[in-house]
A and B are shown apart, each in its own frame.
Chain A
Amino acid sequence: MSATSSSGEYLAAPVLPNVLPTPKERGKIMGFIHRHPTIVIGGTLVAIMVLIAVFAPLLWTKDPTALAPARRTREPSDLYWFGTDMLGRDVYSRVLYGARVSLLVGFSVATLAAIIGTTLGLIAGFTRSVDAIVMRVMDGLMSIPPILLAIALMALTRASVKNVIIAISIAEFPRVCRLVRGVVLSLREQPYVEAAIASGTKVPVIIWKHILPNTLAPLMVQATFICASAMITEATLSFIGAGTPPIIPSWGNIMAEGRALWQVKPYIVFFPAIFLSITVLAVNLLGDGLRDALDPRLAKRL
């Protein structure tokens, strides 16, 4: 193609038809929903669960621990929305209460494991001598399945929600430690960290200003996954009778008690199981969405 006509004069550039679809005009909120549907779905479901847990005393219709032998194993009805169990307790109220236990355990374990794991990971990543020891201990802890470790730890103590949280945290924090250590090892080789050292910045300041903010994204993602797996572990522990004491209705406890009647009265197991599944799914969706949104390669779109 030639830019000039036969007479040698310049031709005006042809106006090109716009073949690209014009990007849809979206508001800030709609745009976010469009870009990160998993965060929105997961976040909404988690928020609903949190609201349920917080306002459980207002939402439940009966005292979740009140026994009523006369009206045992009622089918779901207007009066007993999710039916009653073999001791006549209202399953709906118990499931709502269970949300409190599950979310408390999930969030507490995520926070505790994140704090312990980050601290140890930062130390291990920065001090070569400590690194070898800490990481071998972490290898040891990680070689035991978390659920077995939690059972063993629960066997050593009295059953209580606090002890369940501690036991699951011990089982989960090595994962955080390993992640943070890995991130620190790669970050400390970054030129901006070397430039900070060359600028006379002291090590604690480097950790606080340069390392920690850059570990936050993977840490948040890991924390959500730990939250989800802690809720499952708690339910498992309760189900096998090694977790929350039976007097406290947790989803695992309710399912454990409903297990015997599962073939004739499946709803006793069904409702807590649905709640557990939805919550774990929601937290995992949120974590997945955060991982995509916080990925530095995709961060520019934010």
Chain B
Amino acid sequence: MSDTRPLLEVSNLKKHFPIHGGLLGQVTAKVYAVDGISFDIARGETLSLVGESGCGKSTVGKAILRLYDITDGEVKLDGARIDNMPASKLRPIRQRIQVVFQDPFSSLNPRMKVRDILAEPLINFGIVHGRQELTKRVEELMDKVRLPRDSIWRYPHEFSGGQRQRIGIARALAPGSDLIICDEAVSALDVSVKAQIINLLVDLQDELGLALLFISHDLATVEHLTHRVAVMYLGKIVELTDRRTLFSKSHHPYTRALLSAVPVPDPTAPRNRVILTGDVPSPINPPNGCRFHTRCPLAFDKCRTEEPILRTVGTGHQSACHLTHAPGDQVMPVAS
């Protein structure tokens, strides 16, 4: 491909939610849900965004979808900024970025038939005209997600969780999108169905050259389909690297803690778990210095005062920790 520009570029994205309080509803505090993150996604690539609940990963997805207006930063699709685009001009953008949500039950309108659910984007983007063509396209979408064609006249409640998630994927495919944001798309499914849906996503990616932003809290799931992984903690990316590096030689203590929490099928296998104590600090009042220092087993003085920046520590590998060293850095003594 001659076009080497990434499909989606996110730079220094910030989303702060104001908290209204008091008698007149004035802003009394802010939730720093996403506080300056940058990444990019190439065509046909899967980037996973992992982190604990409440770290802001879903907010990133919704900000890219323009379901939220962002506080600061830039989101570019094919080099053109979409974060400040007026709502009236968003349609062509919406056609290219679609979403699959976590809960297969609340993500489909219970009072609409599958055909109408899938027809909605087709009609909105003016892709098809006429009833027959519409039904034909909807049937093709059902083929793509391996659901029987004759089930398009049913209501969502007549399907199982996995089937509903397939309908959700079909809806996301309908406008011929380039990027699909999977917001915890398989977290609500049980293991065997989860595997089917992941395989479906991988197949569709091969078939259609889709880029995926796969938002998840589960590294074990991510391992099967991702190309690169960004680990988020409290509104920031702490480590970003390709899959192999992440699972073999990640640098950041938080990433290592997450990795050690991945269940191992063999109960007798020796495990060296990093147990984090305490909860994620409140994003209303994030800690000074490194945001992870309150729970980090390796934290030392510098971590409490100085915020580590995300820097390149290897090919395509970025990490934000005072203990990881870029090639050529002076090695610091590790305290505690």
Interface, chain A (partner B; CB < 8 A): 132, 190-192, 194-201, 209-210, 213-214, 296, 299-300
Tell yes or no: B247 within 8 A of A by CB.
Answer: no
Q: Once bound together, how far apart are the Cα atoms of A192 and B62, in whole Å?
A: 13
Do the beta carbons of A195 and B111 come within 8 Å of each other? no
25 contacts between A and B (CB under 8 A): A190-B106, A191-B102, A191-B106, A191-B107, A192-B108, A192-B109, A194-B65, A195-B107, A195-B168, A196-B120, A198-B94, A199-B98, A199-B121, A199-B124, A200-B90, A200-B91, A200-B121, A201-B120, A201-B124, A209-B112, A209-B120, A210-B109, A210-B112, A214-B111, A296-B110
Q: Which of B110, B168, B174 has the most CB of A within 10 A?
A: B110
- Closest A residue to B111 using CB positions: A213
Do the beta carbons of A198 and B99 come within 8 Å of each other? yes
Do the beta carbons of A195 and B124 come within 8 Å of each other? no
- Closest B residue to A300 using CB positions: B157
Q: Once bound together, how far apart are the Cα atoms of A201 and B99, in whole Å?
A: 14
Q: Which residues of B contact A195 (CB under 8 A)?
A: 99, 101, 107, 168, 171
Do the beta carbons of A200 and B124 come within 8 Å of each other? yes
Q: Which of A191, A196, A209 has the most CB of B within 10 A?
A: A191
Interface string of B140-183 (1 = CB under 8 A from A): 00000000000000000100000000001001001100000000
Report A15 CB to chain B, min CB distance, Å. Answer: 30
Q: Which residues of B contact A190 (CB under 8 A)?
A: 106
Interface string of B94-106 (1 = CB under 8 A from A): 1101110111001
Q: Once bound together, how far apart are the Cα atoms of A197 and B91, in whole Å?
A: 10
Report A194 CB to chain B, min CB distance, Å. Answer: 5
Q: Which residues of B contact A196 (CB under 8 A)?
A: 109, 120
- Closest A residue to B97 using CB positions: A198
Q: Which residues of A contact B124 (CB under 8 A)?
A: 199-201
Tell yes or no: B67 within 8 A of A by CB.
Answer: yes
Interface string of B307-328 (1 = CB under 8 A from A): 0000000000000000000000
Q: Once bound together, how far apart are the Cα atoms of A300 and B95, in whole Å?
A: 34
Do the beta carbons of A191 and B175 come within 8 Å of each other? no
Report B292 CB to chain A, min CB distance, Å. Answer: 30
Interface string of B292-308 (1 = CB under 8 A from A): 00000000000000000
- Closest B residue to A190 using CB positions: B106
Report B186 CB to chain A, min CB distance, Å. Answer: 15
The main secondary structure of chain B at its interface with chain A is loop
Closest 6 CB pairs of A and B: A191-B107, A199-B121, A191-B101, A200-B124, A200-B94, A213-B111
Q: Which residues of A contact B120 (CB under 8 A)?
A: 196, 199, 201, 209
Do the beta carbons of A200 and B107 come within 8 Å of each other? no
Q: Which residues of A contact B125 (CB under 8 A)?
A: 199-200
- Closest B residue to A189 using CB positions: B106
Q: Which residues of A contact B91 (CB under 8 A)?
A: 200
Which of B67, B168, B174 lies in contact with A197, CB distance below 8 A?
A: B67
Residues of chain B in range 113-141 having any CB-CB distance to chain A below 8 Å: 120-121, 124-125
Report A295 CB to chain B, min CB distance, Å. Answer: 13
Q: Once bound together, how far apart are the Cα atoms of A199 and B107, in whole Å?
A: 13
- Closest A residue to B126 using CB positions: A200
Report B273 CB to chain A, min CB distance, Å. Answer: 34
- Closest A residue to B157 using CB positions: A300
Do the beta carbons of B65 and A198 come within 8 Å of each other? yes
Q: Which residues of A contact B157 (CB under 8 A)?
A: 299-300
Told that A191-B102, A194-B101, A214-B111 touch, could you supply 4 new A-B pairs with CB distance under 8 A?
Answer: A191-B106, A214-B110, A296-B110, A299-B157
Report A293 CB to chain B, min CB distance, Å. Answer: 15
Q: Which residues of A contact B95 (CB under 8 A)?
A: 200
Interface string of B64-100 (1 = CB under 8 A from A): 0101000000000000000000000011001101110
Do the beta carbons of A199 and B171 come within 8 Å of each other? yes
Which of B98, B111, B112 lies in contact with A198, CB distance below 8 A?
A: B98
Report B82 CB to chain A, min CB distance, Å. Answer: 13
Q: Once bound together, how far apart are the Cα atoms of A89 and B310, in whole Å?
A: 92
Report A117 CB to chain B, min CB distance, Å. Answer: 21
Q: Which residues of B contact A199 (CB under 8 A)?
A: 94, 98, 120-121, 124-125, 171, 174-175
- Closest B residue to A192 using CB positions: B109
Q: Once bound together, how far apart are the Cα atoms of A129 and B138, in whole Å?
A: 39
Q: Which residues of B contact A191 (CB under 8 A)?
A: 101-103, 106-107
Given A199-B120, A200-B121, A300-B157, do A194 and B112 touch, yes or no (CB 8 Å)? Answer: no
Q: Which of B62, B98, B101 has the most CB of A within 10 A?
A: B101
Report B65 CB to chain A, min CB distance, Å. Answer: 5
Q: Once bound together, how far apart are the Cα atoms of A235 and B100, in whole Å?
A: 54
Q: Once bound together, how far apart are the Cα atoms of A209 and B108, in whole Å?
A: 12
Q: Which residues of A contact B107 (CB under 8 A)?
A: 191-192, 195
Q: Once bound together, how far apart are the Cα atoms of A194 and B171, in whole Å?
A: 13
Q: Once bound together, how far apart are the Cα atoms of A247 and B101, in whole Å?
A: 63
- Closest B residue to A202 using CB positions: B124
Q: Which residues of B contact A209 (CB under 8 A)?
A: 109, 112, 120
Q: Once bound together, how far apart are the Cα atoms of A132 and B103, in whole Å?
A: 31
Report A132 CB to chain B, min CB distance, Å. Answer: 8
- Closest A residue to B120 using CB positions: A199
- Closest B residue to A194 using CB positions: B67
Q: Which residues of B contact A194 (CB under 8 A)?
A: 62, 65, 67, 99, 101
- Closest A residue to B104 using CB positions: A191
- Closest A residue to B175 using CB positions: A199
Interface string of B19-45 (1 = CB under 8 A from A): 000000100000000000000000000
Q: Once bound together, how far apart are the Cα atoms of A195 and B120, in whole Å?
A: 10
